Each structure stands twice: as structure tokens, then as C-alpha cells.
Structure 1
Amino acid sequence: MKRILAATDFSTRAHRAIRRAAVLARKSGAELTLLHIVDEEPEALVALEVAESRKILNEQIASIPELRDVRCHSTVAIGAPHDAITKVATAVDANLIVMGSHRRQLLRDVFVGTTIERVIRTGTWPVLMVNKEVAQAYTSVLTALDLSDTSANALSSAKALGILDDARITIVHAFDAIAKSKLALADVTEERISAYVETEQQRATSELQDCLTSLSFDAAGCSYYVAEGDPVPVISNAIDAIGPELLVVGTHGRSGVAKILLGSVAEQLLRTMEIDILAVPRRSMPS
């Protein structure tokens, strides 16, 4: 990882994101760009806000302990936040975008989405949403893997970024025991149904190991949390049981009307989970 872009609105949540970006930059030797976006309205105040924003960014660079010994630059952009973030990410050739967790304003989010979700949906960069205070580099990472190209790409991207280095990695996978309901309707004993589910769990775990091997990933160094059920509750239960510091998920690119609709696993996780989340678009792969 060579270049990181951290967007800030000068809030507490954004301050956490800057500190996390600094920790990542220091560990990887990456160059860090801090970005603040100014609204283009009212026009009469834009120049004043740009000047004040530059002053605050420079003050943060000088005062945040994690930024010491990090190659750090600041920039101020004008316009809609998600557009400005993607334009600056392109300009600096960022490998990763880091942002603070969004404000959960349900009715507004349903109609227009949050800035971070818009960046993820329309961009090509891995996006790290920071929820927690920074203590150290990530030591425990949970990666959602469903055997799709999207989730495989997310895992490979996280590895390429160096975020998985020196961390305990747990692969979480939700499987569907397809015949379970049919067996129940056929009055099959609970013991036989449980045996069937256990067999399906073992099969799913074996498929995960094969998938990791195909990705040249060290499967022997991973733990597994494989459970029957829908992805979001299974991932939520895994987070409760394991207590990871970071969740890695893949996201599907969308277009048209689908951009304003809820429903994807990644979006549900981004809106409900309280840990840091690395969301990797399907078309993303850091250089």
C-alpha cells in the first residue's frame, strides 16, 4: 500500500478515522492525504471556509501523535462530498480511502444513502469505515467469505493492503442446509437432522479451505466460524463471539435505481455493526 486518503469533516468520528489512517500509513510506509470538503454554497463564504479548513488540517497534522513520522499532506475540495472524495482519490492514486462512521439518520439514509455508502457504490477503492478508537494495528480480523468472486477479491485486497499482516484471521461463512426443512416435514428425527446439518457444515468448511488454497492464502493460519443461517445474523453472532477489531466484506457494484435501495449484506453491516469495516468493491484491487 503506497497511498491512503482520509476524509474528514472535523468531527470526533472523523478524528478517529485520521488516527487509524495514520497507524496504517506508519505501518506500511504509505503516503497519507487528509481531505476536507467545503460546500459550494453559499458562494460568498467558500473562499473563507477553504482558508479556515486548510488551517485546521495543518493544525491536526502538527498535533495528532499518530501522524508523527508519517508523510502527510492536506487538501481541501469544493462540492458534493462523495464526488469530491472520488475525484481526489483518483488524483492522488489512492490505494485505500479511510472515513469515519456515518451518522445514522434513518429516513435520510433510505432516500439518499450516506457519503460513505455512495463512495463504496460508485468508486473502485477499498473503503475503511472507522468506528472504534485507535489503540494499535489490527490484531484480530474477521473476513466474510461466501465463495463468490466478490468476497474472494475482498480477502485478496485486504491481504495486498497489508491490513492482515500479523493479525489473527477468522473466516466467517453462512451456509444454507437446503434439505433441513424437507427433513422436518418428513418427520425425520432431530438427531438425524442435526447430523445432516453437521455434515453440511463440514462440507462448507472444506470448500472454504479449498477456496483459500486457490487464492494462495495460508488456510492453516486461519480459524473458521461456519454457521447455518442468513449472512448478517451469522456475521453478527461471529462478531459477538470472537470480538474482532475489523470486519472485511466484499460489495457488489450497483447502478441506476438500485443505488438508492437498501438490502445488500455489506450495506446492512455498514449501517448496524459497531466495529471497523473494510468494504471492498468487486472491481477493486490495490496495486
Structure 2
Amino acid sequence: MVEAGHARSALERASLLDLAPGARVAVLVRQGAELQGESLARAEERLMARLQAVGGTLSRIEPAMDEDLLEAFERQAAQDAPELVIIAREPRGRLTRLLGDTPEKLARHGRVPVLVTRLPAEAPYRRVLVGIDYSENAREALELALRLTPPEAGPLDVLHCYDTSYALVLHQEGASAKQMVDYYRRRASEADAGLRAFLQPYRDQGTDLHALVRSGDPQAELEHAVREQETELLVVGKHGGHGLMHALLGSVAEACLRRAECDVLVVPQAVSRH
């Protein structure tokens, strides 16, 4: 569900993606929105031309003004089977800060990858960062990022954030300074080896990947890496979540949607099965 100005932004970004053969793209548009204007028409024409060149299709989801967005999305998605949903970031009011806006709700409940645009769509993505936790969901996120990134973009940044919270237990149990240092070094070494092993199959195929290993809070480290690497697109997997706290606070992926200063692609679990 996108206002006219937002629809233009989403279409412009979609037209710049490195689309795979047979790609299916859906654009969410609020029913009754004015989808006119020369710049919007050009963006839609560019996207259609790109999709036609790869044998792809474009679908437009237009829920009624009084229709629940998620219900409309699920209904249309079941019919068109889109591989990617693109939606621009909306202005946020007080209520949406608490309960989540349209992109966050789609990312939370949807079964299709959601690309939320924030930056002007002026060129294909060149600086892409993928958050990795070694899960199958993370592998799907990495592979989708590779599909959407042009080969000439250069190395893809891949960040893994590891946990060192057990250090607090060691400290409370009276661990020596040497034991603490050994623990931190061991965790760093394990994380580095784990990321190398995770990425090796892609490197064996000649994929250019830049590995980043950090310790601490994943959300904070992703935000820091986005600024440090001048990231244009952040790609994160979304794990399932339940309960009141998740409903209010959401996952790391949803937090990135709220706070990241770049476009964000959220990849749900097992997208290949939907």
C-alpha cells in the first residue's frame, strides 16, 4: 500500500534491480491513488522493459481503502506468487512508532521478501551489507542479495555478530583476567572460523565477499556497519516470533527497518517454500 509519491520511489528502485530470469515483482498501491505523471510513467515503463527482457512479470496489489492490507496482500500474493515486494518508507506518526507502519507489518507477517526503500533510487545498489547468523534463513538472505546485486558492484559485505554475554557469568564466578582474555579470544576465533566456513561455498564459486565479524548487540552493530560501510542496501533474514513482546518490539529485522539509514530487504524464513 503506497501513496502516489511512494509508488514512484518503489517503481524507480525496482527498475534498477538486477532482476533474475522470470522475476515476478509486485508493487503495493493504495486504491484511488493518482498513478499519473511523467516521471512515474517513465519509472513504470523502465520497470516493465526490464521485466520483459528477463521474461518477468509485474503485478499491482490495490487493496480497497477499507480493506485490511495484510489480508489483501495474502490474497493477491496467492494469485500472483510474487518473489519480491517493494514498498517505500512511509512518514511515521506516534501510533506507527508503537505498532509498526505498513512496511513493518508486511515484514512481520508476510511470507515474501520485502524491500523497503528509503534512499533516492538513482543507480543500482553498489554497497550491500548482509547480516548473517549461520541459519538457513541467513543463507537465503545472502543468496537473494547476490541475485539482486549487479556483478560489477564489487564485494558484498557480510556481517556476523557473535555473543559474549557468558563473560558476565565468568566475571561473577571470579574468573581471572587471563581467563577473561582467553574467553574473548576464543569467541572471536570461533566466530571468524564460522563465518569463513559459511561463506566458503560462495567463494569457491568466485563470489567476492567481504567478511565482517563483530561482537555485541546485532541491531547496534548492523547500524554501525551501515554507517561505516556507507551501505545502500541492508539485507536481513527474519526469524519467526511470537508473544506480546515480539508484537510490540519486533525482531532485529523490524528494528533495522525502523532505524537503518538505508534501504532494507527483509527475507522471511524458507521463502523458497512459499
Question: Do the aligned residues in 1 keep the contact of 2:107 with 2:254 (CA within 8 Å)?
Answer: no
Q: 1:32 to 1:205 in 2, by over 3 A?
A: same
Structure 2 unaligned runs (5+)?
Answer: 53-57
Q: 1:86 to 1:102 in 2, by over 3 A?
A: farther
| Residue 181 (structure 1) aligned with residue 168 (structure 2) | yes
Of the three residues 69, 84, 97, the one matched with 1:96 is 84
Corresponding residue for residue 226 of structure 2: 239
Corresponding residue for residue 125 of structure 1: 112
How high is the TM-score relative to the length of structure 1? 0.76
In 1: Cα distance, 2:190 partner to 2:202 partner:
19
In 2: Cα distance, 1:67 partner to 1:158 partner:
19
Q: 1:104 to 1:165 in 2, by over 3 A?
A: same
Corresponding residue for residue 55 of structure 2: none
Of the three residues 51, 56, 67, the one matched with 2:35 is 56
Q: How big is each residue's C-alpha offset from its partner over 1:87-112, in whole Å with a ceiling of 9 and x where there is no partner?
A: 3233222110000013322433423x
1:69 is paired with a residue of what secondary structure?
Answer: helix
| Segments ≥4 residues shifted beyond 6 Å | none
**Alpha carbon RMSD of aligned pairs, Å?**
3.1
Structure 1 unaligned runs (5+)?
Answer: 1-6, 39-48
In 1: Cα distance, 2:139 partner to 2:265 partner:
14
In 2: Cα distance, 1:149 partner to 1:83 partner:
27
Q: 1:157 to 1:199 in 2, by over 3 A?
A: same
Of the three residues 141, 149, 152, the one matched with 1:154 is 141
How high is the TM-score relative to the length of structure 2? 0.80
In 1: Cα distance, 2:18 partner to 2:135 partner:
30
Q: Which amino acid aligns with 1:69?
A: A
Corresponding residue for residue 8 of structure 1: 2
Q: How big is each residue's C-alpha offset from its partner over 1:57-78, in whole Å with a ceiling of 9 and x where there is no partner?
A: 5866533374473445656442
1:142 is paired with a residue of what secondary structure?
Answer: strand
1:247 is paired with a residue of what secondary structure?
Answer: strand
Of the three residues 196, 208, 229, the one matched with 1:209 is 196
Corresponding residue for residue 137 of structure 1: 124
Corresponding residue for residue 170 of structure 1: 157
1:239 is paired with a residue of what secondary structure?
Answer: helix
- Identity among equivalent pairs (%): 26
1:285 is paired with a residue of what secondary structure?
Answer: helix
2:149 is paired with a residue of what secondary structure?
Answer: coil
Question: Cα distance, 1:163 vs. partner?
Answer: 1.1
In 2: Cα distance, 1:260 partner to 1:124 partner:
17
Corresponding residue for residue 75 of structure 2: 87
Q: 1:263 to 1:81 in 2, by over 3 A?
A: closer
Question: Cα distance, 1:135 vs. partner?
Answer: 2.1
Q: How big is each residue's C-alpha offset from its partner over 1:2-54, in whole Å with a ceiling of 9 and x where there is no partner?
A: xxxxx53213x44222100111276867465544222xxxxxxxxxx4xxx4x
In 1: Cα distance, 2:245 partner to 2:166 partner:
32
In 1: Cα distance, 2:98 partner to 2:20 partner:
37
Question: Cα distance, 1:268 vs. partner?
Answer: 1.0
Between the two proteins, the alignment pairs up a number of residues equal to 260
Corresponding residue for residue 43 of structure 1: none
Question: Cα distance, 1:279 vs. partner?
Answer: 0.1
Question: Cα distance, 1:208 vs. partner?
Answer: 1.2
Corresponding residue for residue 224 of structure 1: 211
Question: Do the aligned residues in 1 keep the contact of 2:29 with 2:61 (CA within 8 Å)?
Answer: yes
Q: Which amino acid aligns with 2:8?
A: H
| Residue 37 (structure 1) aligned with residue 30 (structure 2) | yes
Question: Cα distance, 1:153 vs. partner?
Answer: 2.6
1:37 is paired with a residue of what secondary structure?
Answer: coil
Question: Do the aligned residues in 2 keep the contact of 1:25 with 1:32 (CA within 8 Å)?
Answer: no
Q: 1:264 to 1:165 in 2, by over 3 A?
A: same
